[in-house]
Chain A
């Protein structure tokens, strides 16, 4: 993680260093100005259409269905971005999200269940996951325990599933309680892993930023929080509200209970921020290095060639690193969730 942060820092430093040059180039009026931070954020954020490329001023994109419920009338609207009714508009001040003009002249955010780019990407992840596991479980259909272990892809999936099940879930939660949580933790692992990996594909069926969106990690963290706290045993709650510390620390002023209670929320919060920041940063770095190519060419052939070579090498390196990070982050999220669940099921020592 430190590596990613340092690379992110380096890239920001680099872009800062190049900023005067860029403005100088713009000053000469060679090309239209490149706003790297806008490009990067634009690629990271959600959208009502799936942008693929812009070719000679024309935007090639896949339109996605919009589903909104009007706050004024309460009726549902299903449409495409081009055929949005007049009472709705894309509000540039609110990240281009759909807003509604109310009859009294004010604007509000309607209930928006549109299939946005991120939602579409989530469903692609869902279908990829179901396809992979459908394929794997079909192998097991006509087999019994006497047949040889699977080879190839099914064997690899079996190995990964059993590694997570045995080495992460079982060893963290314990033999007694792990069976109840194993399906959730395995699902979380494969969902995050698949979303991360598909997010690394630069064009259409992938590339959308799913796990680098705070809503997704928030949802996953809330799920983990529920899994941790809902099934916590008496020992766990006693440690929170009446921990084993000198009475003065908990009796008149409940200092330790407050800290412990705070910890209940900081644990999933850390899960949320860790996954979000790592995936977002990875995407941002890759996008930044891609932008450096265009930046270089906007400054002339010499800069273009030099920065091109540099960017391509760095892009290759970053993509390899991101492959690793995609796995590591899924693993870490699952492992820490399992460890926290295990802490909530600790038996009394001695």
Chain B
């Protein structure tokens, strides 16, 4: 032992103080040193990982939303076009119906007016004819009271004459 240099000889005091010092360091660093750093780094790592995945998700969602919005817009456009088309057809049909109705109505009114006119005309003609007959009879009674053998023969003659007259009149 004496031949060995002192750094190679065991020394109880040195071992004792080394034990104390090492235990102090071990205790302090284990309690207050390393766990603080390691915990923080682990937490930071977790946070960064979480943020990355969140960002990924968000960008994905954004793309999804964009797509959805575009689809919605497209749909709206289609709806709009459809509605416009429907409106146009409805308008056309309404206009057509109205026109048809108006035509019908006018045709009806015209035909009714014509009928009325015809009826008026007929009744007027009949009245005139009756008056003319009466007048003619009276005139003929007065002018030709003796020349006529029977009323019937006279009436037929007068009718024929009147027809001629009225034909002449209408021709004229």
Contacts from A to B (Cβ < 8 Å): 41, 44-46, 67, 93-97, 111-116, 118-119, 122-123, 125-126, 129-130, 133-134, 136-137, 140, 143-146, 149, 157-158, 161-162, 165, 182-184, 186-187, 190-191, 209, 212-216, 218-220, 223, 276, 280
In the complex, how many angstroms separate the beta carbon of A325 from the nearest chain B beta carbon?
Answer: 17
Q: Hey, what's the 0/1 contact readout for B1-36 against A, CB within 8 Å counting as 1?
A: 010011111111111111101101110111011111
Q: Is A129 a contact of B10 with CB atoms below 8 Å?
A: no
In the complex, how many angstroms separate the beta carbon of A210 from the nearest chain B beta carbon?
Answer: 9
Q: Is B156 an interface residue (CB 8 A)?
A: no
CB-CB under 8 A from A215, the residues of chain B are: 10-11, 14-15, 18
In the complex, how many angstroms separate the beta carbon of B68 from the nearest chain A beta carbon?
Answer: 32
A46 in contact with B22 given A158-B37, A182-B34 (CB within 8 Å): no
B41-49, B56-64, B111-119 - the one binding chain A: B41-49
Q: Is A162 a contact of B32 with CB atoms below 8 Å?
A: no
CB-CB under 8 A from A280, the residues of chain B are: 7
CB-CB under 8 A from B2, the residues of chain A are: 93-94
Nearest B residue to A120 by beta-carbon distance? B17
Q: Is B40 an interface residue (CB 8 A)?
A: yes
CB-CB under 8 A from A123, the residues of chain B are: 17, 21
CB-CB under 8 A from B13, the residues of chain A are: 67, 111-114, 116, 119
Seed contacts A46-B11, A223-B22; 11 additional CB < 8 Å A-B pairs: A44-B5, A115-B17, A118-B14, A119-B13, A119-B18, A158-B41, A165-B38, A183-B26, A183-B34, A187-B22, A191-B22
> What CA separation (Å) do A338 and B2 show in the bound complex?
36
Q: Is B34 a contact of A161 with CB atoms below 8 Å?
A: yes
**What are 21 residue pairs bridging A and B, where the CB atoms are less than 8 Å apart in the complex?**
A45-B7, A95-B5, A95-B9, A111-B12, A112-B12, A112-B13, A113-B17, A119-B18, A119-B21, A125-B21, A126-B25, A133-B34, A136-B33, A137-B32, A140-B37, A146-B47, A184-B26, A191-B25, A213-B14, A214-B8, A219-B15
CB-CB under 8 A from B26, the residues of chain A are: 183-184, 187
Q: Is A46 a contact of B36 with CB atoms below 8 Å?
A: no
In the complex, how many angstroms separate the beta carbon of B41 from the nearest chain A beta carbon?
Answer: 5
In the complex, how many angstroms separate the beta carbon of B170 from the nearest chain A beta carbon?
Answer: 115
Our pick among B5, B10, B24, B37 for the contact of A137 (Cβ within 8 Å) is: B37
> What CA separation (Å) do A187 and B27 show in the bound complex?
9
In the complex, how many angstroms separate the beta carbon of A84 from the nearest chain B beta carbon?
Answer: 15
Q: Which of B11, B19, B40 has the most CB of A within 10 A?
A: B11
A130 in contact with B7 given A137-B33, A187-B30 (CB within 8 Å): no
> What CA separation (Å) do A136 and B18 show in the bound complex?
24
CB-CB under 8 A from A118, the residues of chain B are: 14
Q: Is B15 a contact of A186 with CB atoms below 8 Å?
A: no
> What CA separation (Å) do A80 and B41 show in the bound complex?
48
Q: Is A212 a contact of B22 with CB atoms below 8 Å?
A: no
> What CA separation (Å) do A44 and B28 show in the bound complex?
29
Q: Is A45 a contact of B5 with CB atoms below 8 Å?
A: yes
CB-CB under 8 A from A112, the residues of chain B are: 11-13
Q: Is B7 a contact of A157 with CB atoms below 8 Å?
A: no
Our pick among B9, B38, B40 for the contact of A143 (Cβ within 8 Å) is: B40
6 closest A-B pairs by beta carbon, nearest first, are A95-B6, A145-B43, A133-B33, A45-B6, A183-B30, A145-B47
Our pick among B8, B22, B38, B46 for the contact of A162 (Cβ within 8 Å) is: B38
Q: Which of A44, A126, A280 has the most CB of B within 10 A?
A: A126
In the complex, how many angstroms separate the beta carbon of A166 from the nearest chain B beta carbon?
Answer: 9
Q: Is A157 a contact of B37 with CB atoms below 8 Å?
A: yes
CB-CB under 8 A from A130, the residues of chain B are: 25, 28-29
